């Protein structure tokens, strides 16, 4: 048991230590960093955190974080509204946006089906996805979930739910990373990438 010199100091360390990837030592460093900082800036930091829960809103169409009711991706008329990319969370939207390769819209599930963590389909934004498929304006739904047990389960669940609607379901390509070396690739990825081989012209054309 580490004893800290002040209650508030200890509380602050404990709060930081609840953040992902942060243990007690890093939390201590962070709090000491804040104590050395300009007082006004630290107070502003606290204020920004306090504002988060009430002021961050989610786009009512794609469930991405947004400043307005409909986010600036969904409201952008230059984007192809007939393609939807289904992702787990906001982080994935940001990652895909950064590739600048995708011009369709998104649908953020807000998680993946994970019985271990007690997350079932009802806690995810699945109803609204089915509604979009029903409405008929969407032609293709791209599944861009992690290749984990939970990700695959979620894709399978969605596939079954969406199968009766006239929409093409696709999945982002799995395989060896660009620049990745064969010998360091895990067996499952390597095995799947052989099974899912594509004609050589296909690669060139892309």
| Residues lying near a copy of itself in the complex (CB under 8 A) | 2-9, 11-12, 15, 19-22, 26, 28-35, 37, 39, 42-57, 59, 64-67, 71-73, 89-91, 93-94, 97-98
* Alpha carbons 142 and 200: distance in angstroms, whole number: 23
Closest approach of a copy of itself to the CB of residue 110, in Å: 9
- Nearer to a copy of itself (CB atom), residue 46 or residue 180: 46
Element (H, E) at 171: strand 168-171
- Nearer to a copy of itself (CB atom), residue 2 or residue 195: 2
Closest approach of a copy of itself to the CB of residue 83, in Å: 19
Element (H, E) at 66: strand 65-66
Closest approach of a copy of itself to the CB of residue 100, in Å: 10
- Nearer to a copy of itself (CB atom), residue 124 or residue 162: 124
DSSP per-residue string spanning 162-193: HTTSS-EEEE---SSPTT--GGGS-HHHHHHH
Closest approach of a copy of itself to the CB of residue 200, in Å: 34
DSSP per-residue string spanning 79-147: SEEEEEEEESSHHHHHHHHHHT---EEEEE-SS--BGGGTB-GGGSTTHHHHHHHHHS---EEEE---S
- Nearer to a copy of itself (CB atom), residue 11 or residue 137: 11
């Amino acid at each position: 048991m580490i004893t800290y010199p002040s209650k508030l100091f200890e509380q602050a360390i404990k709060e930081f230590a609840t953040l992902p990837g942060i243990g007690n030592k890093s939390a201590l460093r962070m709090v000491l960093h804040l104590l050395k900082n300009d007082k006004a800036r630290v107070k502003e930091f606290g204020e920004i955190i306090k504002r988060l829960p009430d002021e961050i809103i989610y786009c009512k169409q794609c469930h991405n974080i947004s400043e307005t009711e409909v986010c600036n991706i969904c409201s952008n008329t230059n984007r192809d509204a007939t393609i939807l990319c289904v992702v787990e969370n906001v982080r994935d939207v940001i990652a895909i946006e950064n590739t600048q390769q995708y011009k369709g819209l998104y649908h953020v599930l807000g998680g993946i089906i994970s019985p271990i963590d007690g997350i079932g389909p009802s806690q995810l934004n699945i109803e609204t996805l089915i509604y979009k498929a029903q409405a008929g304006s969407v032609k293709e739904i791209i599944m861009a979930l992690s290749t984990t047990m939970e990700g695959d389960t979620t894709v399978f669940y969605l596939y079954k739910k969406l199968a009766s609607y006239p929409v093409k379901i696709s999945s982002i390509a799995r395989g060896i990373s660009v620049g990745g070396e064969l010998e360091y690739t895990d067996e499952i990825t390597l095995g799947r990438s052989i099974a899912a081989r594509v004609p050589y012209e296909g690669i060139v054309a892309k």
